[in-house]
């Protein structure tokens, strides 16, 4: 064989593996997604729909160029640690932990896999990030500032219902870290003192506690109910409204979803949409960005929703000035 022919054969043989490698399919990123409710629940379906919408906006289609491994806690937040470990063992490229309890479980399960959290309460207070501007670890995402707005919601309740003197506050121990919960309690009590309202804290550890909680509220002769931020209480909003309505107890909560079901007033960010917006972080991380360098996003708009139909049913005359400030009124 001539030297030129021999070099051609050798060169072709050397190039062949490279060509084969170039034609190999690109690795499809795998995302682990943890949600609070059962997969078939309206809350989980809404969150998954919003997340899927976000994926499509960035050009991702589940099952084609991205794989989403969904795990649901079935309203038992104590299951989050096991679900997080399961996702880590699957060697996912990224974990989307739907809220603070899920994020805390994921944080304990891995320090290397990036974690995006759509709805955080107080990420600094809960130890999820070092600071909002520079998270510093493997966690980033969005905060809805829910715990910080409890005094504002109490003030809105007093403005809408000036005669209210006794307010029951439903809260979920362990919904957030100890520091966040303590701060939320202290600020709520201070606001109540300033507004001249007696605040009765009623703990709800699990959905099964709601009936007993309402028995306590009725026994205390509360004038209204303030819902503290909590993924579990948010997921139980229909049941809470159904328990409060026959007893003519107006509810003030963090999400418009309460008001749409018959609650009285809500004030806060559109947290369901956070499930869509978090995909911006997912996209950046899949393209090489580090969570430590991606600032936590804070809401720039807070919505005030008022259910005038509920107010009329309960015999409440809401000041026109408050109605005029509402972003949406349900009649």
109-143 pLDDT per residue, tens: 999 999 999 999 999 999 999 999 999 999 999 99
Q: Picking from 25-34, 249-258, 289-298, which range would have the lowest pLDDT averaged per residue?
A: 25-34
Q: pLDDT value at position 42?
A: 84
Q: What phi and psi, each to the nearest 5 degrees, are found at residue 21?
A: -65, -35
Kind and range of the H or E run holding 328? strand 328-330
Across residues 291-304, what is the average pLDDT?
Answer: 95
CB 135 within 8 A of CB 292: yes
Cα dihedral 8/13/17/20 (nearest 10): 70
Closest CA to 235 of 121, 128, 99: 99
Cα 30-34-35 angle, rounded to 5 deg? 140
Statement: residue 97 has pLDDT above 80: yes
Statement: residue 225 has pLDDT above 80: yes
**What's the mean pLDDT when you consider all of the chain?**
91
Q: pLDDT value at position 25?
A: 61
144-163 pLDDT per residue, tens: 987 889 999 999 999 999 99
1-34 pLDDT per residue, tens: 444 444 444 444 444 454 444 555 678 999 999 9
Q: Which residue has the tokens 């062949």?
A: 16
Please give the share of the chain, as a percent, with pLDDT higher than 70: 92
Q: pLDDT value at position 8?
A: 45
3-state SS string for 176-201: CCHHHHHHHHHHHHHHHHHHCCEEEE
- Number of residues assigned to the chain: 331
> Which carries the bigger pLDDT value, residue 59 or residue 40?
59
pLDDT band of 319, cuts 50, 70, 90: very high
CA separation (Å) from 5 to 11, 17, 157, 317?
A: 10, 20, 89, 96
Which residue segments constitute the domains of the chain, with CATH numbers given? Answer: 30-145+271-293 (3.40.50.2300), 147-268+302-330 (3.40.50.2300)
Positions of E strands within 185-287: 198-203, 224-227, 251-253, 265-268
Across residues 209-217, what is the average pLDDT?
Answer: 96
Across residues 72-96, what is the average pLDDT?
Answer: 95
* Residue 113 DSSP SS3: coil
Across residues 58-62, what is the average pLDDT?
Answer: 97
Across residues 285-302, what is the average pLDDT?
Answer: 96
Q: pLDDT value at position 1?
A: 47
């Amino acid at each position: 064989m001539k030297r030129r022919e021999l070099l051609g054969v050798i060169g072709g043989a050397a190039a062949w593996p490279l060509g084969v490698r170039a034609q190999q399919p690109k690795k499809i990123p795998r995302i682990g997604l943890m949600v609070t409710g059962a997969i078939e629940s309206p809350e989980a379906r809404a969150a998954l729909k919003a997340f899927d919408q976000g994926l499509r906006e960035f050009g991702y289609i589940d099952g084609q160029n991205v794989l989403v491994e969904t795990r649901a806690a079935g309203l038992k937040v104590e299951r989050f640690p096991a679900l997080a470990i399961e996702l880590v063992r699957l060697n996912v490229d990224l974990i989307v932990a739907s809220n603070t309890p899920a994020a805390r479980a994921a944080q304990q399960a891995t320090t290397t896999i990036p974690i995006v959290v759509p709805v955080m309460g107080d990420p600094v207070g809960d130890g999820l990030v070092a600071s909002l501007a520079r998270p510093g670890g493997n966690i980033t995402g969005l905060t809805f500032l829910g715990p910080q707005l409890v005094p504002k919601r109490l003030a809105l309740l007093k403005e809408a219902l000036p005669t209210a003197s006794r307010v029951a506050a439903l809260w979920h121990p362990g919904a957030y870290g100890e520091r966040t919960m303590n701060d939320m309690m202290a600020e709520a009590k201070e606001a109540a003192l300033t507004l001249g309202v007696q605040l009765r804290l009623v703990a709800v550890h699990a959905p099964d506690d709601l009936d007993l909680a309402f028995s306590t509220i009725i026994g205390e002769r509360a004038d209204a109910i303030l819902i503290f931020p909590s993924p579990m209480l948010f997921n139980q909003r229909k049941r809470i409204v159904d328990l409060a309505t026959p007893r003519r107890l107006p509810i003030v909560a963090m999400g418009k979803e309460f008001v749409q079901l018959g609650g009285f007033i809500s004030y806060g960010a559109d947290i369901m949409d956070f499930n869509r917006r978090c995909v911006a972080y997912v996209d950046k991380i899949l393209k090489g960005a580090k969570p430590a360098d991606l600032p936590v996003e804070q809401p720039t708009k807070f919505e005030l929703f008022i259910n005038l139909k509920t107010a009329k049913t309960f015999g409440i005359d809401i000041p026109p000035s408050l109605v005029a400030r509402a972003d949406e009124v349900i009649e």
